[in-house]
Amino acid sequence: MSAIKRLAGQTAIYGIPSILGRILGYLLVPLYTRVFLPEAYGTVNVFYAYASFLKIILTYGMETAFFRFTENEKEKETVYSTSVISLLASSITFLILITLFSGRLAIWMDYPDYGNYIVWFGWILALDAISAIPFARLRAQNRAKRFASINMIGIAINIGLNLFFILLCPYILKTHPDDFPGKMIQLIYRSDWGIEYIFISNLVASCVTLLLLLPEFKGITWKMDRKLWQKMFFYAFPLLFAGLAGIINETFDRLLLRYLLPGTPEGATYQVGIYAACYKISILMTIFIQAYRYAAEPFFFAQAKERDAKEVYSQIMTYFIIVVSVIFLVTMVYLDDFIMPLLVGKEYWVGKGVIPILMFANLFLGVYYNLSIWYKLTGKTSWGAWISLVGAVITLVLNFIWIPLSSSHHIYGYYGSAWATFICYGSMMILSYLTGQKYFPVKYNLIKFFGYLGLAFILYFGSTLVTLKNLILSISFHTLILIVFCAIILTIEKPGLGALLSRLKAED
């Protein structure tokens, strides 16, 4: 039981930068959706969608390979050095190529005037890729606090610069144009730039993050073991395809919307902005899943050596389902009360119908991450690639069919993307469970799995049948629904939770 306690503690620590960063970052969403029109915000999301795709290529599964070989190899420093040199060499090569061909890439992407964006993103991606293994080493060494602090500094710089350039600079230039502050701002600020400052803020934050990680390079042997690298690469290679397929599932719909929606490119980008803003509402779900993933991967590898490993995995899945069910219900019942009004501008509200679809889709993705540990532990990483490939095919086929179906009455385009995401992640979850039970059987409690998720959905659906115009009454009613759900969960889980708490206290 100490293993579960350790995982929960590490998830909380890893979640600090993720939670605070996401919350602070989502404070920028109301800013973006009020300062920038949907087409400009859509452009931001298109570029970040490309960046997500390239980030997977630049790290090519080396983080997971590092975890695996650090556990198995005696020479851990050689594993670390080999991993760092590999990513450093590939990142520098990528940066040279992206700088040389930025103009041609901008034309190919249908953004001919944005070649400077591509160079900026090339630097961001290269710096982040070089930082990947030092961050992975901190996780492997259970140095979660240092991991969290460096992440938080980078996040704070990114958000602070966004606020400085997008809010403070225009305000000073408007109110004190001829005073000393205004003249200083004019030296560093271009009034004709807007979303450019989102990218510049990210670039500066990536630079500072790598600088903070420089002590992790101290003492490195700078020795690359070619045989070890080959073993690591062939272990990681299927994960590269799994990662690419995963990014197709996660972000490629924004690119497809940009190029498949009928009408002008500007109109399509406008719809991308609406869809992306509504996608962001799944903040609590994505925060928890991201924090959980950071803690879970090294934990699962370490726990595999224990006799009760499979029992622990099963218990963790049950608790995971409870948490994500609560997150889903919290987000959906309070959506109209204050979440939508606080997080996005009114121009974006037209797309809120996709939110419950995307929330459940991300919930399925979180379950899939839980299940996918079987192929990493058994070394059958090719299964991860195949499952993700199936998901990618589903995503592409359904998006190609549904995105072009739009009319003046309903925007089928991004609703189609939302349903494609739902079906994709649901299919991947089921496939991972079925194959995992064959090669690495774990007795998950499926009754609780479907019961808790079904109960959350029923309560949410029931809440939509009641409309209360008074905000206080509406919040009270929705809070009562949450209390009912939590009370049912506690009643069912009380015996197990009581025993677990007793054992944890005894271990202390």
> What average pLDDT does the segment 291-298 reach?
72
Contact 481, 333 (CB under 8 A): yes
Please give the average per-residue pLDDT across 422-429, as a whole number: 94
Cβ neighbours of 457 (radius 10 Å): 16
Band of pLDDT at residue 508, cut at 50, 70 and 90? very low
Contact criterion met (CB below 8 Å) for 194 and 44: no
Rounded CA gap, 249 and 387, in Å? 12
**Of 412 and 131, the one with more pLDDT:** 131
Within 440-470, where are the H helices? 446-464
pLDDT reported for residue 178: 84
Q: Count how many Cα atoms sit within 13 Å of the Cα of residue 508 in the half-sphere of its side chain.
A: 8
| pLDDT over threshold 70, residue 502 | no
**Average confidence (pLDDT) over 95-105:** 92
**212 pLDDT more than 70:** yes
Per DSSP, the residues of 240-283 read HHHHHHHHHHHHHHHHHHHHHSSS-HHHHHHHHHHHHHHHGGGH
Binning pLDDT at 50, 70 and 90, where does residue 414 land?
Answer: confident
**End-to-end CA distance of the chain, in Å?**
11
Contacts of 264 (CB under 8 A, 6+ apart): none
Flag whether pLDDT at 410 surpasses 60. no
Give dist(CA 305, CA 385) in Å, integer.
25
Residues 6+ apart with CB under 8 A from 209: 127, 128, 131, 150, 151, 153, 154
75: left (phi over 0), alpha (psi -120 to 50) or beta: beta
Report whether pLDDT(301) > 80.
no
Mean pLDDT (whole number) for 146-173: 90
d(CA 75, CA 353): 53
SS3 334: coil
* Closest to 4 (Cα-Cα) out of 470, 323, 374: 323
pLDDT at residue 409 in the model: 45
What is the DSSP code (8-state) at residue 337?
A: I
Q: Can you say how many angstroms the Cα of residue 362 is from the centroid of all Cα atoms in its chain?
A: 10
Q: Longest Cα pair distance anywhere in the chain, in angstroms?
A: 73
User: Burial letters for 38-57: b for 16+ Cβ neighbours within 10 Å, e otherwise?
Assistant: bbbbbbbbbbbbbbbbbbbe
pLDDT of 305 above 60: yes
CA dist., res. 417 & res. 248, Å (int): 12
Q: Is the per-residue pLDDT at 40 higher than 70?
A: yes
Residue 22: name the closest of 206, 277, 286, 246 by CA.
286
pLDDT score recorded for residue 122: 93
- For residues 236 and 62, is the Cβ–Cβ distance under 8 A? yes
Among the residue ranges 38-47, 236-245, 347-356, 483-492, the one predicted with the least confidence is 236-245
The tens digit of pLDDT for each residue in 239-290 reads: 787 778 778 877 888 888 888 887 777 778 888 888 888 888 876 687 778 7
Are the C-beta atoms of residues 26 and 94 closer than 8 Å to each other?
no
pLDDT at 369 > cutoff 50: yes
Half-sphere exposure (CA, 13 Å, Cβ side) for 345?
A: 16
Q: What is the pLDDT of residue 5?
A: 57
Average pLDDT over residues 312-336: 90
